[in-house]
């Protein structure tokens, strides 16, 4: 596993925390995988001094790396200086997503999108020979740096689906027990099919010019995971637990 790489971005004291939260999706769209962000200083006053952006795996330099970081900084500086026209709508299709990624903990390949995503035509016959570089028939639609939706074409051939499951280290028994219904359906002659899921809430956020998705959804959660409108989560009654056959076990005190 490659060493952890930490980048510290410093902004002026008035840089909004809501804008800083958008670092993670910006990095994802710029091609840097597995990015986690945490504030350098607390944001109780609604602003912060900077941000740590950590890429703990650095899977492949071809995905962006330092160049992606420079482009990210340019975009954020452009917003700070008022150089970006927020009234314009610029659309972008993102394609050629990797099909697989290596799970260092489980020592096996996993699907980046989901295990039913179709490989691109040029990788259909050889995706299992070079999974690190195999490309998926997947796509995202972006407007002004915001992902509005994503989707893929699905595998409709049972032999290709079985090869994907083999690469993901699923035994034949696991394939039958977990996805036997799908393999049987594909064997009966499923047609080529695909689709896309669009986020109406994200469209609303872009059209309203809001920087935060929580400002446009019906029941937003705060950073503590609480819903201030409904008061959720609330205490569960014993009757509800009994109905579901659940028992709450209190954690043991250390020592």
Residue 111 sits in the same domain as residue 192: yes
User: Under 8 Å CB-to-CB from 51, ≥6 apart: which residues?
Assistant: 8, 9, 11, 20, 23, 37, 38, 39, 40
Q: What is the pLDDT of residue 61?
A: 45
What would the pLDDT profile of 193-245 be if each residue is shown by its tens digit? 999 999 999 899 888 888 778 888 888 887 778 888 888 888 889 999 999 99
Number of domains in the chain: 2
Give residue for tokens 């650095």: 58
The domain containing residue 190 runs over which residues? 87-220
Q: Is residue 10 part of a domain?
A: yes
Q: What is the pLDDT of residue 217?
A: 86
Q: What is the pLDDT of residue 36?
A: 41
Q: What is the pLDDT of residue 27?
A: 54
Q: What is the pLDDT of residue 110?
A: 94
pTM equals 0.63
3-state helix, strand, coil in the chain (%, to 5): 30, 20, 45
Q: What is the pLDDT of residue 214?
A: 81
Between 172-187 and 158-167, two packed helices, what is the crossing angle to 10 degrees? Answer: 160
Q: What is the pLDDT of residue 185?
A: 87
Q: What is the pLDDT of residue 250?
A: 82
Beta strands (DSSP E) in 72-155 are 91-94, 97-98, 100-103, 108-111, 135-136, 138-143, 146-153
Residue 91 sits in the same domain as residue 216: yes
Q: What is the pLDDT of residue 253?
A: 78
Residue 33 sits in the same domain as residue 78: yes
Residue 154: CB atoms within 10 A of its CB come to 18
Q: What is the pLDDT of residue 60?
A: 38
Q: Which residues of the chain have pLDDT under 70?
A: 1-73, 75-77, 79-81, 255
């Amino acid at each position: 596993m490659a060493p952890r790489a930490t980048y510290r971005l410093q902004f002026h004291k008035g840089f909004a925390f809501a804008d800083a939260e958008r670092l993670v999706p910006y990095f994802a769209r710029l091609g840097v995988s597995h990015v986690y962000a945490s504030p350098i200083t607390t944001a109780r006053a609604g602003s912060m001094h900077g941000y740590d952006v950590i890429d703990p795996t650095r899977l492949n330099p071809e995905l962006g790396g330092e160049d992606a970081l420079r482009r990210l900084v340019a975009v954020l500086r452009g917003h700070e200086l008022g150089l970006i026209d927020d009234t314009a709508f610029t659309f972008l299709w993102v394609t050629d997503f990797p099909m697989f990624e290596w799970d260092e903990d489980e020592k096996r390949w996993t699907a980046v999108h989901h295990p039913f995503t179709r490989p691109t035509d040029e990788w259909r016959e050889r995706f299992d020979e070079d999974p690190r570089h195999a490309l998926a028939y997947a796509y995202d639609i972006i407007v002004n740096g915001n992902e509005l939706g994503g989707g893929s074409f699905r595998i409709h051939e049972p032999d290709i689906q079985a090869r994907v499951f083999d690469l993901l280290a699923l035994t034949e028994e696991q394939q039958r027990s977990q996805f036997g219904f799908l393999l049987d359906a594909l064997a009966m002659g499923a047609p080529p099919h695909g689709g896309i899921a669009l986020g109406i809430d994200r469209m609303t956020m872009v059209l309203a010019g809001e920087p935060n998705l929580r400002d446009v959804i019906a029941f937003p959660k705060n950073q503590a995971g609480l819903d201030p409108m409904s008061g959720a989560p609330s205490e569960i009654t014993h009757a509800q637990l009994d109905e579901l056959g659940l028992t709450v076990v209190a954690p043991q005190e250390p020592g």
